[in-house]
A and B are shown apart, each in its own frame.
Chain A
Amino acid sequence: TQLLEQSPQFLSIQEGENLTVYCNSSSVFSSLQWYRQEPGEGPVLLVTVVTGGEVKKLKRLTFQFGDARKDSSLHITAAQPGDTGLYLCADLGNQGGKLIFGQGTELSVKP
């Protein structure tokens, strides 16, 4: 059974700081997805990465996929209070509708 480990589990920073969160898998990812979840809502997809070494940018968010496709990082530049939320990595797997999630990183950005 594939296990996804995210670190850190909790992160509290001041507005304007940079941060990186990590996701490591016990086996090679099929396709890696990052989600953000705000309190009281469902997760929302941020990005999908498929190719080892791939880097994707979404405004102040930079996503990196490891060359061996077993790890990933999410870097946020100049964090804002609106970035507060739970960040989840997931493996899409080779059959739709069957995501495997990490336990999440809870980010709090204070003004």
Chain B
Amino acid sequence: NAGVTQTPKFQVLKTGQSMTLQCAQDMNHEYMSWYRQDPGMGLRLIHYSVGAGITDQGEVPNGYNVSRSTTEDFPLRLLSAAPSQTSVYFCASSRPSGGTDTQYFGPGTRLTVL
């Protein structure tokens, strides 16, 4: 099993450009999430999904879109990149386990917006 994979690993954008961060998991997990990590702020939830076709907003959703057409994939779209979106982005997946879910994180995408 590859676990959770993310592409690209690094990306540099100019302000106003759009792009999609890819996330895939091969563990047949129902739950998938996107977080961003900024220095001194831990990880903050952007969007999450509890199954194919179902998504919802997290703590910092503005400027990002998601969709979940399959169980395996959960892409994150930046519509018009801004310097404030410079961050490290992590995708995670898990299976519901009655309050003891184990979240598996991908290796991250480091995004710089100029």
Q: Name A's B-contacting residues (CB within 8 A).
A: 1, 4, 6, 9, 30-31, 33, 40-45, 48, 50, 88, 90, 92, 94-104
* Cβ–Cβ contact B96 & A31, under 8 A: no
Residues of B within 8 A of A99 (CB): 33, 35, 43, 45, 92, 103
| Other contacts beyond A42-B90, A50-B100, A88-B43: 4, CB < 8 A | A41-B108, A45-B103, A97-B92, A99-B92
From the candidates A6, A42, A94, A101, name the one contacting B107 in the complex (CB within 8 A): A42
Docked complex Cα distance between A44 and B103 (Å): 8
Residues of A within 8 A of B32 (CB): 97
Tell me, rounded to whole Å, the shortest Cβ–Cβ distance linking A77 to chain B: 25
Say if the beta carbon of B53 comes within 8 Å of chain A. no
Tell me, rounded to whole Å, the shortest Cβ–Cβ distance linking B50 to chain A: 6
Count: A-B pairs, CB below 8 Å = 76
From the candidates A9, A100, A103, name the one contacting B45 in the complex (CB within 8 A): A100
Tell me, rounded to whole Å, the shortest Cβ–Cβ distance linking B84 to chain A: 18
Docked complex Cα distance between A60 and B17 (Å): 47
Docked complex Cα distance between A11 and B70 (Å): 42
CB contact list, B64-114 vs A, under 8 A: 90, 92, 94, 96, 99-103, 105-108
Say if the beta carbon of B58 comes within 8 Å of chain A. yes
